[in-house]
A and B are shown apart, each in its own frame.
Chain A
Amino acid sequence: MPDGSIPILVLSTAALFASIAGFIIYFIVLYRNRQLKNKQEQEHLQSIFRQEVLKARIEMQEQTLAHVSREIHDNITQVLSFVKLDLAMIGNADEKQKQIKINESRELIAQAINDLKDLSKSLSFEHISKLGLLKTIEMEVNRLNKSGIVKAEITTDGEISSLGEQRELVLFRIFQEAVNNMLKHSGATHFKIGLQYYPELFNLTLEDDGAGFSSEMFGKSDGAGLRNMENRAGLIGAIANINSNPGKGCIIKVSLNPLQQQLYIDEDHSNSIG
């Protein structure tokens, strides 16, 4: 065996293996740091998402309670006051009039009972989880049509399927925000709601024929609700497009891929508070 060949081999091999081992160890440390960083980012997003879901639920409850309070004040108390008045007048009336007043009171009480039944249904805050997005929106549409302020219609396309409780809750809050804006500011007479369910795409389209607004509104404090809709849509991996021009109504379109996973939403389903 010639002199010098073994040291060359040993030295070069040792140097090579030392550098490969050093590289691999460095890579493992770097990889571990990346994993930790991503984990922290994911936890942060999860925490923001939980807060938003909680906020959405509280807002939904507040809105429902406000509606119930308005209904009791404007409708049921009025009806019961009529009944009280009718019954007070019975004492001086003849038999025929007494019968008319009693029948009238009976009808009014029946109406009050029906209204109370509707109210008790709307007091359940778990509509979304029990009924799903479509049914909950349909109930809201019925309520809007009953009010007579606006003529609302709902259309669906594709095979209806659940988008997940938290996604549906956020979508419903976007819908409620849009309805509130329409009722408060637009003066619209027609309101169209479209739900499109495709395998890789869900669209919620809300269209009114109200006063509309300019794009500058987004920058002002009045546009906070609109920005809120966009932010909330982003949290569930959806995109909200808001198109409006003065005098030309408003179209809000929320698009979502139901198959796309958002780890901070789908991983932990225990973030329900109710």
Chain B
Amino acid sequence: MAIIEFFYWLLLLIVSGIGTMRYKKLTLPFKVLTCSVLIVFLFNISAKVYSIRYKSNAPILQMECIAEYIFYSLVYYYLFKNKQIKKAILASVLIIFIFFIINAIFLQPFFRVFPTNVYLPTQILFAIFSLLLFKQMLLYPLKVNIVKQGVFWYNTAILVYATTMFLNLGLANYYVAHHINDYSLYYFWYFSLYLFHVFIGVSLFTDNKEIITTYA
């Protein structure tokens, strides 16, 4: 196991530990987020085991991809106030899920290929949700300092993750098309994941249901 992978697992364990320890103090969306981090951690372990046994971890990554979208969308569903946006999020989950099944059957086989076709639209949707939530935060500012707000860190995490993953996938396609074999992309991928989970950890550390209602 590469050291970079080991530290990633360790980071996931720490972040899920923060969420679990502060579970009672967290608001509902951040409770969902804690569950999602735990599930991502389990998926990563399963992916490793699966790849050792069957030489491919594609099915686990396929499931992780759709599970991540459902969980992070659910977090957004609880964070948004606007009912139309909430409905749009639910509709997007349904559409992405249908597309995921079609993709797994016809385009990128479930047992063999990493689902980039699903990753790309979900990252775009995450970036849109993130920008919309930033707008909502400006409309309803809280009294609390912004760096002490879990929502800010979660939203920053998603924005960073969505945009860097998008760039990552774009570059990966470019490298494949031009037959470039470069490990720097692999490290960049992990760097994005580290950054994302550090922000998620901070969001779980700062979120507190007692401060959520006091508007400035």
Which A residues lie at the B interface, using CB under 8 A? 1-2, 5-6, 8-9, 12-13, 16, 20, 23-24, 27-28, 30-32, 34-35, 38-39, 42, 263
Q: A2-B180, A2-B181 are in contact. List 6 more A-B contacts (CB 8 A).
A: A5-B175, A6-B182, A31-B138, A34-B138, A34-B141, A35-B216
Q: When the two chains form their complex, are residues A9 and B216 in contact, meaning their CB atoms are under 8 A apart?
A: no
10 A-B residue pairings within 8 Å (CB atoms): A1-B182, A5-B175, A5-B182, A5-B184, A8-B174, A24-B159, A34-B141, A35-B141, A35-B143, A263-B215
A28→B155 CA distance, assembly (Å): 13
**B178 CB to closest chain A CB, in angstroms?**
8
Say yes or no: is B146 at the interface (Cβ < 8 Å to chain A): yes
Q: When the two chains form their complex, are residues A5 and B180 in contact, meaning their CB atoms are under 8 A apart?
A: yes
Say yes or no: is B137 at the interface (Cβ < 8 Å to chain A): yes
Partner of A38, one of B141, B159, B164, B175: B141
Say yes or no: is B185 at the interface (Cβ < 8 Å to chain A): yes
Secondary structure of the A side of the interface? helix
Q: 10 tightest CB-CB pairs across the interface, nearest first?
A: A38-B216, A34-B141, A5-B182, A35-B216, A2-B180, A35-B141, A5-B180, A31-B146, A9-B184, A16-B167
> How many residues of chain B get a CB closer than 8 Å to chain A's CBs?
25
B residues in contact with A263, CB < 8 Å: 215
A residues in contact with B12, CB < 8 Å: none
Say yes or no: is B7 at the interface (Cβ < 8 Å to chain A): no
Q: Using CB atoms, name the residue of chain A closest to B139.
A: A34
A residues in contact with B134, CB < 8 Å: 27
Q: Using CB atoms, name the residue of chain B closest to A6.
A: B184
**A42 CB to closest chain B CB, in angstroms?**
7
Which residue, of A6, A34, A39, has the highest number of chain B Cβ atoms within 10 A? Answer: A34
* Chain B, 101-156, CB within 8 A of any chain A CB: 134, 137-138, 141-143, 146, 156
Known interface pairs A27-B134, A31-B138. Does A39 touch B182 (Cβ–Cβ under 8 Å)?
A: no
**B11 CB to closest chain A CB, in angstroms?**
19
Q: Using CB atoms, name the residue of chain B closest to A28.
A: B146
**B167 CB to closest chain A CB, in angstroms?**
6
* Chain B, 143-199, CB within 8 A of any chain A CB: 143, 146, 156, 159-160, 163-164, 167, 171, 174-175, 180-185, 188
A84→B56 CA distance, assembly (Å): 114
A residues in contact with B167, CB < 8 Å: 12-13, 16
B residues in contact with A2, CB < 8 Å: 180-182
A12→B137 CA distance, assembly (Å): 29
Q: Using CB atoms, name the residue of chain B closest to A27.
A: B134
A99→B147 CA distance, assembly (Å): 88
**B141 CB to closest chain A CB, in angstroms?**
5
**B131 CB to closest chain A CB, in angstroms?**
9
Q: Using CB atoms, name the residue of chain B closest to A3.
A: B180
A9→B187 CA distance, assembly (Å): 11
Q: Using CB atoms, name the residue of chain A closest to B170.
A: A12
Q: Using CB atoms, name the residue of chain B closest to A23.
A: B159
B residues in contact with A38, CB < 8 Å: 141, 215-216
Known interface pairs A12-B167, A16-B164, A38-B141. Does A32 touch B146 (Cβ–Cβ under 8 Å)?
A: yes
Q: When the two chains form their complex, are residues A31 and B137 in contact, meaning their CB atoms are under 8 A apart?
A: yes
**B130 CB to closest chain A CB, in angstroms?**
10
B residues in contact with A32, CB < 8 Å: 146
Q: Using CB atoms, name the residue of chain B closest to A9.
A: B184
B residues in contact with A5, CB < 8 Å: 175, 180, 182, 184
Q: When the two chains form their complex, are residues A9 and B146 in contact, meaning their CB atoms are under 8 A apart?
A: no
**B115 CB to closest chain A CB, in angstroms?**
23
A residues in contact with B183, CB < 8 Å: 1
Q: When the two chains form their complex, are residues B188 and A42 in contact, meaning their CB atoms are under 8 A apart?
A: no
Known interface pairs A31-B146, A34-B138. Does A9 touch B164 (Cβ–Cβ under 8 Å)?
A: no
A24→B146 CA distance, assembly (Å): 11
Q: Using CB atoms, name the residue of chain B closest to A15.
A: B167
Which residue, of B137, B141, B171, B188, has the highest number of chain A Cβ atoms within 10 A? Answer: B141
Q: Using CB atoms, name the residue of chain B closest to A4.
A: B180
Q: Using CB atoms, name the residue of chain B closest to A21.
A: B160
Q: When the two chains form their complex, are residues A20 and B141 in contact, meaning their CB atoms are under 8 A apart?
A: no
Partner of B160, one of A20, A27, A35: A20
Q: When the two chains form their complex, are residues B156 and A24 in contact, meaning their CB atoms are under 8 A apart?
A: yes
B residues in contact with A23, CB < 8 Å: 159
Q: When the two chains form their complex, are residues A9 and B171 in contact, meaning their CB atoms are under 8 A apart?
A: yes
Q: Using CB atoms, name the residue of chain A closest to B156.
A: A24
Q: When the two chains form their complex, are residues A20 and B188 in contact, meaning their CB atoms are under 8 A apart?
A: no
